[in-house]
Every structure is written in C-alpha cells, then in structure tokens.
A and B are shown apart, each in its own frame.
Chain A
Amino acid sequence: AQSVTQLDSQVPVFEEAPVELRCNYSSSVSVYLFWYVQYPNQGLQLLLKYLSGSTLVKGINGFEAEFNKSQTSFHLRKPSVHISDTAEYFCAVSEVNTGFQKLVFGTGTRLLVSP
C-alpha cells in the first residue's frame, strides 16, 4: 500500500517570494506522482505529474517539482508566488503496475499568499 505525507498543513508566504511545498511518499512498488491544486469550494486541477524520465517536472502556473527517488520525495516549488496562488495543494501517487488508477492523496497544504 502507498501513503503520502505532506508535513506542512499551512504555508504562509509573501507575494513574489519563493515557496516549496513538501511531499514524501511511501510505496513498495513504483508509482506515478502528481500535484493537484484546489481553489476554494472547487474541484481539483492537475498542476503537474511525474511518470518517468527527467526528475524535474514543469507544470502550469510556473510551478515545478523534483522527484527524488532516494529520499522518496516530490517537492513542489515556485520561484515567485502571486496572490492568486492561494489555494490548497495536494500531492498524490498512483501505483504503476495496477490495471486501474487509484490516487492516494496526502492531507494537503494550504498556501496563503499575502501582499
């Protein structure tokens, strides 16, 4: 079974500052990795995903994430945040070799961007 840990429940940051949202996972098999964003009272939207290849993945809205297999981490970064980035961010994994996708989510990190 897989599990995902997002240690920071809330990350406050000032506008135009850099931010890193941490994600660690545990799995005995290979997984795909995802970051989703949820704006208030809305569904989730995919930010980026890691399937294979380059460990640095670029997504929408200027976000990127780096897969580190040895540390089983997939941290999300943005060099300069905007007020509009205020949202909840979820890290998720999906087992590679199953015949069906079952996303396992972390508990989420609320990013609060202030002026």
Chain B
Amino acid sequence: SQTIHQWPATLVQPVGSPLSLECTVEGTSNPNLYWYRQAAGRGLQLLFYSVGIGQISSEVPQNLSASRPQDRQFILSSKKLLLSDSGFYLCAWTEGQGRDTEAFFGQGTRLTVV
C-alpha cells in the first residue's frame, strides 16, 4: 500500500534561518506531488506542485522554493524564514492526472518562526 512520510512533525525556527522540509512517498511511482500551507484561521493554500523529477510549478509568489530530486521525494525550502512563513505545511500526492482522484496527505509539519 502507499504511504507518505513527512518530517519533522514540529519545528521552531528563528527569523532569517534556513528551512528544509522533506516528504517521501512509498508504494507508487511517478506520483504528482504537492505542498500546501495552512495558516492560522485560513484554509489550505497550494504552494507548489510537481508532475515529475525536476519539474516544479509555483502557485504563489513567496519566500519558499521546492525541489524534486527523486521520483518520490519532494522538498520545501527557504533560505531565510520570515515570521509570515509560520503555519502548518502539508505534503500530498495523487496518481496520474489526479483531477478526480483522492489526494493523500502527510501528517504535516507545524512550523513556528520566532
């Protein structure tokens, strides 16, 4: 069966520090991968998605970047964190085109920038 791993679960980082969140998927090949952010009092916002290795699409201009170095690995990064980067970050994947299929989510990373 397919599983998705996301770590760390919680993270407290000072303003200006770098960030690296990792997500890996098992049990499937060539998944579509996503990074969402859930800020306090707001819904989930799609940040990045990827249809293949090295292919990244950004949905929202921001202080963050994403990379997909391997088929089932998706990394969210920042060179210098801002206070506004605080939130709950969720990685997700879908199979194939995925328009009508279920999106499977990781357990999330709660990031607090202080």
Question: What residues of chain A have their CB less than 8 Å away from a CB belonging to chain B?
Answer: 4, 6, 32, 41-46, 49, 51, 90, 92, 94-96, 98-108
| B98 close to A101 (CB less than 8 A) | yes
| B2-21 CB contacts (< 8 Å) to partner A | 4, 6, 9
Q: How far is the CA of A15 from the CA of B41 in the complex (A)?
A: 25
| B99 close to A44 (CB less than 8 A) | no
Q: How far is the CA of A107 from the CA of B49 in the complex (A)?
A: 20
Instruction: Given A46-B103, A49-B100, A51-B100, check contact A107 B43 (CB 8 Å).
Output: yes
Query: What interface size band does chain B fall in?
Result: 20 to 34
- The residue from A92, A101, A106 contacting B97, defined by CB atoms under 8 A apart: A101
Which residues from chain A contact B42 at a C-beta distance below 8 Å?
A: 107
Q: How far is the CA of A100 from the CA of B103 in the complex (A)?
A: 12
| A101 close to B103 (CB less than 8 A) | yes
Residue of B nearest to A101 (CB): B98
Tell me, yes or no, whether B110 is within 8 Å of chain A by CB: yes
Which residues from chain B contact A45 at a C-beta distance below 8 Å?
A: 105
| B32 close to A100 (CB less than 8 A) | yes
Which residues from chain B contact A94 at a C-beta distance below 8 Å?
A: 99-100
Q: How far is the CA of A103 from the CA of B94 in the complex (A)?
A: 11
| A4 close to B46 (CB less than 8 A) | no
**Subset of 7 A-B contacts with CB under 8 Å:** A6-B43, A43-B106, A94-B100, A96-B99, A101-B32, A101-B101, A102-B49
**A42 CB, nearest partner CB in chain B, Å:** 6
| B49 close to A100 (CB less than 8 A) | yes
**B42 CB, nearest partner CB in chain A, Å:** 6
Which residues from chain A contact B90 at a C-beta distance below 8 Å?
A: 43-44
